[in-house]
Structure 1
């Protein structure tokens, strides 16, 4: 099918350029890389197109599958040390930005990411340093979550000595205490963190900065401080009667479960909220044997939780009570027996852009409850950091992660804003780069501003349709019988390569040879080294624009 399409284009353009009627436009082709939607949408700043096309083009460039997977792992870990973790828990905004959605579905970047990460763990791959130079400056990182560990990792790559101070007994932050093991097995997280420690990062657990050690001590002993204290305090509902013993915050519930505590939730659990914490808490309660309902004040379209997790929750028998909000409780002996609710309707959009829920008069109803879990939000514990809070904001930072209130202090992660783990990873890396430049007496770099490429610049008809590969998942009865059995399975390396071949390499040359084949003036130069981009001999070019028009990936511009 591909050959037929290319053949038609050849005839069309050859006949167009063969006559004497051609007039030189005065424009000439240039290599013009562009920003693909996958990379534009990745908060971590991962080189998505590079690691995916490395797998896709392996055979073409004479690489074995193992060579391609190892190369892809090293590309990935330039920006993030957590491929196996993020390949399991990231809601993959990169896929929402994928141009292939308009053809036959986004490339399964997240599943490819997981395969690369698991390969790295299986083969014991190790990180590469950017320099063998050993810097004299010391950096302190407060908090061993994704932002803090990423910052420490990147600074270690640059040659700095980094010490991470963690308040709890084990590193991981919300990756450890907030995400269920059926989504992120503890050994996967442990192994990716251990690799960071083996790389040279020093870790001190059970050390709470702000109480055990004053922040001023760190400022005195270290040349820069990065704060990534997380947001481990859950918020309750603000409804009278919620001080009952069987009302918990989502964060507290997950934390206690992950510390091995047995919690008797009874047989009727209500979870209030629509985010990932609400879904996670509800699914754990199902595994504890409870009938579980989620009460959410908007509709499924506004739920901020990961779509796949919502679908899995429904498969597991969790009832979703939309357009409803808690209004009070019925109590007996300091325990909730029923939760009073009121129906809602959606009004005008609020500051978040979502339509505001408005109570409907006279629509009250009750739901029986043996436990109520409030998973509406969470916040940091700022004990010892009060002076750094900026007005009503939490830690307020500039575009490079530097705290606005205090020079020499940087921040990232949930203590700046509640967001994705990939956002925290991006903030940690950005701060590490800014710290490095600051200590070298340089201005932090301004990110490159490549133009984004959309389907308007792609030849979508050039790419053959190919169904997206989906991984298998554990049967419902098996997952409910095992609290921490991993639900979603990954792709095999062979499947990951097959899925990677669906990538259209938006905005970057992938060696299709279309421009070289169709240029009658022989102005297109085929590279001698496979994998390099095609170049142009401007002296031979007659400005016909064929090369730009036939380029499937939109890499060529005329100026």
Structure 2
């Protein structure tokens, strides 16, 4: 019985072997020897980051033409070149990407409960949604660390993942297992063109900044002495840090959470300090740029918006060319904004840093005359960015407005130091409440004349920065609030005076509505030079067709060219606008922000043919991030930035009013930053200065 069973099993095995032998001969497919060679080039991580189940499958996909030589995320350019050599093709450029952690909160986010379940972020998120008040913060159980096949992630003392960018191979596994999105994969293009999203870890200052600068990170880097890192962080969003560090009205400071405890952080001063570090060093920070893509983009206007757009496009690999009407680029930063606010040498340094990236410039070229949209298209430009600014000061509807001695603010500022060098004995009247008006007032006062400024609102309603108003008053200028010109007095065609009246709001206490003239308050003052600085508008002439109609839709409120809010694309798909030609009169940092938004739109348009709609864009301040109470431990006095004396200001156009700060002072001010997240903050900020005489605990202040 046993012998029969063994014999039967033997015969069955023999039969199966024979069938398999025949099948192998019939069905055998000779494997392409290149598969083994290609697989041999891989590091053997089998991480799956390429999208294929292991290195063997990836090698097969390359040989079959389903994937390129550069598919391996664990390998670099050298591996791609070796594979390309085997396949007899060229390896395309693949932008390096790494994992990064957007959460800095750690234990600073309030706990909802103590979790004692499975040590896995996904399990906790699935069961309880996370035990911290911040829904997008890191849960901290290290699931990302466990799945990383390259040992590129570790948890720090706060339970926050730290990525070693030199080891990370961007396989994406950490991001796949992160249930909150605290770990993300990104590369230079994504980083430079990323628009804030409501599911980002955004401190209020980052939300309020038009350019979306990562304030929290660059201040922290500066504190650690990593000036290079701090500047790189700023330049991810702002290619003009020297200019912005001098001119920005700093809306970020008004919303700084530190204001709840004492005074907001001097973000603007720290921004300038980091930017000055590079220029003072005498050498420029090397910025990475992707290889040229061959995509040409024409940029009309060499002001801050045009320069910013060119900067971002060039860094991600495209080929921008700037066409500028004037003989110098820089827009109003060069020759219009006075040097005591923004020195020419600072502008030159900043502009050159952008040109050194490989940005071409053609000056003395006027849009609408020398070049048109059609001619640029014929020359092979795939997209056009219009950033011609708002240089036109509208004339007032006043009697004798054409009299000799009436000039607009832009003409006046442009001629200071040229045809206008001395105003001693002259009586100058400036009309307007703008920053430009204050520039005129301050410049005229420096030239030795009596200056009167007519301002048709109260001071807090002025569009000018309060610091600029303060500095204009410090020079002895007569700022007449709630006044409005009614007529210009002229004799033999020349200005000899101006009549004005008082105006008042319907509700003076609340200052609501448009101020109206107060009867019987007309007053005449002598004047031989009147400067109109009420506003600035765009010159629509270059955008007119042969019939005199505008080629673009014009916004009735701003006077600027209409465009999509996020992409800045006009009704012509290949034409984008930004800066004051789009927004109307605005601040420098808004022009910088527009340049980056436009670069994002242009990039997608010329590479994909369409611009993706941003998901969950942060368009306004996120309500939950506005806190009413905070338990901050230490109070540290806000830094005082040195300024030259008022007397010194009267005799110089070259020396900046506001001076620089030293590193230790900057570091101490930086320690006041609470390193805010979405809802969390560092209550112990500034602890390293606890022993300083000017530092106290808030509990001690309460006792006093």
Shorter-chain TM-score range? 0.7 to 0.9
Counterpart among 380, 383, 390 of residue 553 in structure 2: 390
Task: For residue 140 of structure 1, give the secondary structure of its aligned residue in structure 2.
Answer: strand
Is 1:473–1:488's contact at 8 Å kept on the other side of the alignment?
A: yes
**SS of equivalent to 2:650:** helix
The structural deviation recorded for 1:26 is 5.1
- Given the alignment of the two structures, is residue 427 of structure 1 paired with residue 594 of structure 2, yes or no? yes
Query: Where do residues 224-263 of structure 1 align in structure 2 (5 Å cutoff)?
Result: 224-257=383-416, 261-262=420-421
Aligned 8 A contact 1:401 1:412 in 2: no
- Alpha-carbon shift at residue 103 of structure 1 (Å): 1.3
Distance 1:110 1:293, change over 3 A: same
Aligned CA distance change for structure 1 residues 513 and 211 (closer, same or farther; 3 Å): closer
Distance 1:279 1:377 in 2: 12
Which is worse superposed, 284-293 or 333-342?
Answer: 333-342
CA distance in 1, matches of 2:328, 2:640: 34
Aligned partner (choices 513, 530, 537) of residue 372 of structure 1: 530
Structure 2 equivalent of residue 502 of structure 1: 672
| Alignment check: 8 A CA contact 1:76 1:83 kept | yes
Provide the residue aligned with 1:522 in structure 2: none
In the aligned structure 1, how far is the partner of 2:623 from the partner of 2:216?
13
Which of 304, 310, 313 is the aligned partner of 1:155? Answer: 313
Shift of residue 487, structure 1, vs aligned partner: 0.8
Deviations 1:380-402 (Å, cap 9, x if unpaired)?
Answer: 22333224331554311102344
CA distance in 2, matches of 1:457, 1:289: 49
Does 2:502 match 1:343?
yes
1:167 aligned to which of 325, 330, 333: 325
Match of 2:450 among 285, 291, 298: 291
Structure 1 residues not aligned, in runs of 5+: 1-8, 18-23, 59-64, 515-559
Deviation sequence 1:166-221 (CA, Å, 0-9, x none):
00010011111331110000000110001101111101111112112233111222
Deviations 1:503-554 (A, max 9, x none): 111216999699xxxxxxxxxxxxxxxxxxxxxxxxxxxxxxxxxxxxxxxx
Counterpart in the other structure of 1:550: none
Q: Deviations over 1:469-494 (max 9, x none)?
A: 02111111111011332111122222
Q: What does residue 28 of structure 1 align with?
A: 130
Identify if the C-alpha distance between structure 1 residues 371 and 513 changes in structure 2 by more than 3 Å, giving closer, same or farther: closer
**In the alignment, is the contact (CA less than 8 A) between 1:234 and 1:252 conserved in 2?**
no
Cα distance change, pair 506–286 in 1 and its aligned pair in 2 (3 A): same
- Name the SS of the counterpart of 1:416 in structure 2: helix
Seen in structure 2, the aligned counterparts of structure 1 residues 258 and 446 have a Cα distance that, compared at 3 Å, is: farther
In the alignment, which residue of structure 1 is the partner of 2:465? 306
Tell me the CA shift for residue 96 of structure 1: 1.1
Q: Is the 8 A contact 2:265 2:670 kept in 1?
A: yes
Structure 2 unaligned spans of 5+: 1-106, 115-123, 138-199, 545-549, 685-704
Partner of 1:205: 363
* Matched-pair contact (CA < 8 Å) for 1:272–1:376: yes
Partner of 2:263: 105
- Deviation, 1:246, is 0.6
1:478 aligns with 2:645: no
- Name the CA shift for 1:264/1:291 in 2 (closer, same or farther; >3 Å): closer
Out of 651, 657, 668, the residue aligned to residue 487 of structure 1 is: 657
Q: Name the SS of the counterpart of 2:631 in structure 1.
A: helix
Q: Is the 8 A contact 2:446 2:650 kept in 1?
A: yes
Q: 1:356 aligns with which of 514, 519, 544?
A: 514
Cα distance change of structure 1 residues 354 and 144 upon mapping to structure 2, 3 Å threshold: farther
SS in 1 for 2:665: helix
Check if 1:446 corresponds to 2:614: yes
Q: 1:277 aligns to what?
A: 436
Residue 247 (structure 1) shift = 0.8
Q: Distance in 2 between matches of 1:188 and 1:49?
A: 25
Structure 2 counterpart of 1:405, from 549, 571, 577: 571
Q: Give the deviation of 1:358 after TM superposition.
A: 0.5
Change (3 A) 1:355 1:434: same
Conservation of the 8 A alpha-carbon contact between 2:676 and 2:682? no
Superposition deviation, residue 264 in structure 1: 4.5
Q: Match of 1:85, SS?
A: helix
Task: Please list, as runs of the form range in 1=range in 2, the aligned pairs for 1:523-534 lying within 5 A after superposition.
Answer: none
**What do the CA deviations read for 1:281-318 (whole angstroms, capped 9, x no partner)?**
00000000011111111111111111111111111111
The partner residue of 2:481 within 322, 325, 329 is 322
Distance 1:327 1:71, change over 3 A: same
Cα distance in 2 for partners of 1:99, 1:156 equals: 36
Structure 1 residues 259 and 173: CA distance shift in structure 2, 3 A? farther
Question: Which residue number corresponds to residue 114 of structure 1?
Answer: 272
Task: Give deviations 1:22-52, integer Å, cap 9, x for gaps.
Answer: xx99563255264222111111221112211
Aligned to 1:51: 218
* Aligned residue in 1 for 2:631: 461
1:436 aligns with 2:594: no
* Range that drifts further, 212-221 or 465-474: 212-221
Tell me the secondary structure at the aligned position of residue 271 of structure 1: strand
The alpha carbon displacement at 1:113 in A equals 0.7
Counterpart of 2:71? Answer: none
Are 1:72 and 2:240 counterparts? no
| Pair 394,156 (structure 1): closer, same or farther in 2 beyond 3 Å | same
Deviation at 1:244, TM superposition (A): 1.1
Counterpart of 1:416 in structure 2 is 582
Larger radius of gyration: 2
Instruction: Tell me the distance in 1 between the aligned counterparts of 2:212 and 2:633.
Output: 26
User: Are the aligned partners of 2:299 and 2:310 in contact in 1 as well (CA < 8 Å)?
Assistant: yes
Q: Is the 8 A contact 1:142 1:165 kept in 2?
A: yes
Q: Which moved more, 1:233-242 or 1:444-453?
A: 444-453
Equivalent residues of 1:338, 1:367 under 8 A apart: yes
Inter-CA distance 397–26: structure 2 relative to 1 (3 Å threshold): closer
1:136 deviation in Å? 1.3
How far the C-alpha of 1:427 sits from its partner, in A, is 0.5
Alignment RMSD: 2.7
CA-CA distance at 1:449 after TM superposition: 4.5
